[in-house]
Structure 1
Amino acid sequence: MTAAAPERLDRFMARANAAYYAGRDPFADFITAPEISQMFGEILGAWVAVTWQGMGRRVPFALVEAGPGRGTLMADMMRLLARVAPDCHDAARVHLVELSPRLRDVQQAALAGRTAHPVTWHDRIEDVPEGAVILLANEFLDALAIRQFVRTADGWAERFVQGPAFVTQPASDLPPGPFDRSVPCGEILECCPDALAVARHVAARLCRAPGTALFVDYGYDGAVWGDTLQALRDGQPAWPLADPGLADLTAHVDFAAFAAAVRDGGAVCHGSVTQGALLGALGLFARAEQLARNRAPGEAYAIRDAAQRLAAPDRMGRLFKALAITSPGLPVPPGFALP
């Protein structure tokens, strides 16, 4: 039997994740910040309201979420906006960027009765109509397909997938990315062309119309390198090349490369800052104490523990980072101002 031809890693990863999200419940394998506590969505809902005011209270505006999961984050934000910022709630036209028909149904149920206007779904961020926008993406970039390159004595080689193993081939085309880094021989440098395309698109859009975008994800910010490809299957780490479509494949986000693409596109970049710093600046712990007040001891502990899980440095607080993008001339978004 002839062995299958090597497949470039990004093509393998895109194919495997498309099958995974079409056929499995990803939330059986991992939990995201909005699912940990309603506080995450409430905090970001307040962030949206203040950001909207700084944009001149545009009516209408597109409130966009890329990779909305079960719709929990958007539902929590809209509930908060309806209560404390009804003008912003009514001005928002909710757009969700989601490919999975199954997840779209889940999101529709989560948002029933939460929005002032019908929700619109799109396959790509590029499909969202032009105009004023606030875009949020929590754990969206990490699932985009990456390419991996190995520094050799003769230049760069690229990693391909053949069966359950990696093979390398001489790199025939280097995409735009962080190839000016001083990577030692034998080490791996990752590049995510789709993430850089998102950065360039968002930057161009925000140069045409007023808006702000917030990306929250796990990753690194600096001229670093290394293999960050990982897989989760049935809630446990797995070999990423085994049984494509049965595991969730992700990689750490290169925020330095992402920010460089944003700046090249003419928009203003803020951060990255750690998730813990952002949520702390936005009042997470004060909100936790407010919710815990007059609760039974077990409930109060769970609320405070959720806040620690979201923000503590040894939990999600340091590994997860947040980066904001604004149109030129707009105020610095909440949580990103220098102390």
Structure 2
Amino acid sequence: MARPAAVMERLDAFMARANAAFYAQPDPLAHFTTAPEISQAFGECLGLWAAVTWQQMGAPAAVWLVELGPGRGTLMADAWRAVGEMVPGFQAAARIALVESSASLRAGQGAALAGIPVQWFDRVEDVPPGPAIILANEFFDALPVRQFIRRAEGWMERFVAHGAFVEQPSELGLPEAPEGSVLERGEAGQALAAHLAARIAAQGGSALLLDYGPAETALGDSLQALRAHQAADPLGPPGSADLTAHVDFAALARAAGSAEAHGPIPQGLFLQRLGLMSRAAILAQSAPQQAGMILSGAQRLVTSEGMGRLFKVLCLCKPGLAVPAGFA
């Protein structure tokens, strides 16, 4: 009996399906750690960044404070507490919108943000109109990418079948590159950046994107999988691991042409300019028994050996808005 033909999926379709299954698990965040969990100063600094941005916008009476992929709600909880203490006018004006499709993650976010008025949306396109300050920390890296590999006969696109790559000739006009080179295209990320830019340009606000990847478009295979804090097979059973790829910040900036782009700059430089290390030092003084952990966590976010260099920060603003904090 003949073996049935393999069902091939383009890599981006496979990646989207795999991550949808992964994030539908009861606790997908148990497999990795992100910046808000490493240091509370991270969320506090981003909250105050948002408040300063609101002031630069002319302090509108109502503004959406949007987070894409809010995880456990830690970042927003830290941000909300900081602005309540330092810029209560912004807290009074802000309406929180969390873009999250996972029911289990929504439940955890609701617990972390108990007593805080929060609205959830499945997609950023569903957030009602109005000026918006949008935070996206480690969100774009989980969006699907296409991959192409240069062979002697030309560019081939990677598909997935039975847990392995299958190559098909590509008809796209791709740039010349040495044989064996891999090129990635994050079309979903570029489309989202274009949507955010169009909203910001028309209705006002800014979007702050923090993620890992090169400042300039680069060749290379960056697809990776993480399960239980360990590297896993990206082509393994869909939903068994978190699939990510480096963010092409230059491509995002090009896609967001209707907004004004600042950066990308290294995350370490951005956070130091916002005063993260000073805030961590204050936290360490107030909790001397945890001082070592507090300071080492902050160092991990800003140093080149940690997340300070690989991670970048890109800001998309309404044209004419002042240079955002951290980018001057």
* Normalised TM-score (structure 1): 0.93
How many Å separate the matches in 2 of 1:147 and 1:216?
Answer: 21
1:173 Cα deviation after fit: 5.1
Tell me how far 1:152 sits from its aligned partner: 3.0
How many pairs does the alignment contain?
Answer: 326
Query: Which piece of structure 1 moves more, 5-14 or 150-159?
Result: 150-159
Letter in 1 for 2:6: A
Residue-by-residue CA offset, 1:282-308 (whole Å, 9 max, x unaligned): 001111111222543x42111110110
Provide, for residues 153-186 of structure 1, a one-character-per-residue CA deviation record: whole Å limited to 9, x for no partner. Answer: 4432100001121110012457xxxx44x53222
Partner of 1:169: 168
AA aligned to 1:194 is: A
CA distance in 2, matches of 1:183, 1:226: 11
For residues 1-339 of structure 1, what are the structure 2 equivalents within 5 Å? 1-113=3-115, 115=116, 118-172=117-171, 179-180=174-175, 182-263=176-257, 266-293=258-285, 295-296=287-288, 298-337=289-328
- Can you list the C-alpha shifts for 1:194-238, whole angstroms capped at 9, x where unaligned? 100011111111111110110000111113110000001122101
Q: Distance in 1 between matches of 2:74 and 2:191?
A: 27
- C-alpha distance in structure 1 between counterparts of 2:275 and 2:321, whole Å: 22
- What is the CA-CA distance between 1:121 and the residue it aligns to? 1.2
What is the CA-CA distance between 1:3 and the residue it aligns to? Answer: 4.1
3-state secondary structure, aligned to 1:22: coil
Structure 2 distance, partners of 1:259, 1:239, is: 31
C-alpha distance in structure 2 between counterparts of 1:223 and 1:141, whole Å: 15
Letter in 2 for 1:43: C
Q: 1:202 & 1:27 partners in 2: Cα distance? A: 26
In 1: Cα distance, 2:304 partner to 2:286 partner: 28
Give me the whole-angstrom Cα distance separating, in 2, the residues matched to 1:294 and 1:161: 52
After TM superposition, give the deviation of residue 267 of structure 1 in Å.
Answer: 0.9
Given that 2:26 and 2:104 are in contact with CA atoms closer than 8 Å, whether structure 1 keeps it comes out as no
SS at match of 2:24: helix
CA contact (8 A) 1:24 1:246 kept: no
Question: Is the 8 Å Cα contact of residues 183 and 189 (structure 1) preserved in structure 2?
Answer: no
- 1:167 partner SS: strand
One-letter identity of the residue aligned with 1:13: M
1:331 maps to a residue whose letter is A
* Deviation (angstroms), 1:27: 2.0
Give the TM-score, by structure 2 length: 0.96
Could you say what secondary structure the match of 2:79 adopts?
A: helix
Gaps of 5+ in 1: none
1:225-256 Cα shifts (integer Å, max 9, x gaps): 10000001122101111121111111110111
CA distances 1:32-60 after superposition (whole Å, capped 9, x unpaired): 00011111011111101111000000110
Aligned AA for 1:248? D
When residues 111 and 294 of structure 1 are mapped into structure 2, their CA distance, relative to the original with a 3 A threshold, is closer
Q: 1:294 to 1:6 in 2, by over 3 A?
A: closer
One-letter amino acid of the counterpart of residue 31, structure 2: D
The CA RMSD measured in Å over matched residues stands at 1.4
Q: Which amino acid aligns with 1:152?
A: R
2:196 is matched by which residue type in structure 1? V
Contact 1:9 1:160 in 2 (8 A): yes
2: CA distance, partners of 1:333 / 1:66: 20
Query: 1:119 offset after TM fit, Å?
Result: 1.5
Q: Which amino acid aligns with 1:36?
A: I
Q: What's the CA shift for 1:24?
A: 4.4
Q: Distance in 1 between matches of 2:153 and 2:107?
A: 51
CA distance in 1, matches of 2:55, 2:284: 30
